């Protein structure tokens, strides 16, 4: 009985990473209109959808900077559609102080994040940090 419980515990421990969404992880955003970029941690949120918050901000020179947006949600309510596609979410652009309807597409170690307003969409490519 004890060996069975131990085996089940180990199985659960090793199976958990395999259940993680492919978009989970730390992503470097594309530079914004001011040349600044950030690291966004993507994960599954309490509502079961994909979300991500800004964990570190960098200036155009690549040096870490202080930002009032640290800890702020950048991506939320993304619904996984399969094959690396995410829809029906929202994305916040700190440089424009605007929120857009959004979708994401996973392309290997890049994440295409597009924001749309009134039918006009703009995409930026984020790069996986880890």
CA 91/CA 15 separation, integer angstroms: 30
Residues 88-128 pLDDT 10s: 999 999 998 999 999 999 999 999 999 988 888 889 999 99
Cross-strand pairs, 100: 91
Report the predicted TM-score, pTM, of the whole model to 2 decimal places.
0.82
Across residues 11-39, what is the average pLDDT? 77
Q: How confident is the model at residue 2 (pLDDT cuts 50, 70, 90)?
A: very low
Give the residue extent of every domain in the chain.
Answer: 21-128
Please say whether the beta carbons of 104 and 125 come within 8 A: no
Cross-strand pairs, 107: 110
Q: What is the CATH number of domain 21-128?
A: 2.40.128.520
The more confidently predicted of residues 18 and 65 is: 65
Q: How confident is the model at residue 19 (pLDDT cuts 50, 70, 90)?
A: low
């Amino acid at each position: 009985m004890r060996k069975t419980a131990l085996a089940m515990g180990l199985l659960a421990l090793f199976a958990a990473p395999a259940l993680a969404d492919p978009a989970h992880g730390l992503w470097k955003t594309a530079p914004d209109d001011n040349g600044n970029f950030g690291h966004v941690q993507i994960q599954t949120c309490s509502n079961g959808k994909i979300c991500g918050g800004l964990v570190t901000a960098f200036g155009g020179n690549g040096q870490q900077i202080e930002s009032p947006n640290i800890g702020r949600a950048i991506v939320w309510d993304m619904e996984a559609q399969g094959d690396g596609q995410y829809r029906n979410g929202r994305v916040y652009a700190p440089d424009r102080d605007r929120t857009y309807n959004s979708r994401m597409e996973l392309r290997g170690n890049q994440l295409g994040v597009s924001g749309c307003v009134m039918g006009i969409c703009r995409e930026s490519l984020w790069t996986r940090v880890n």
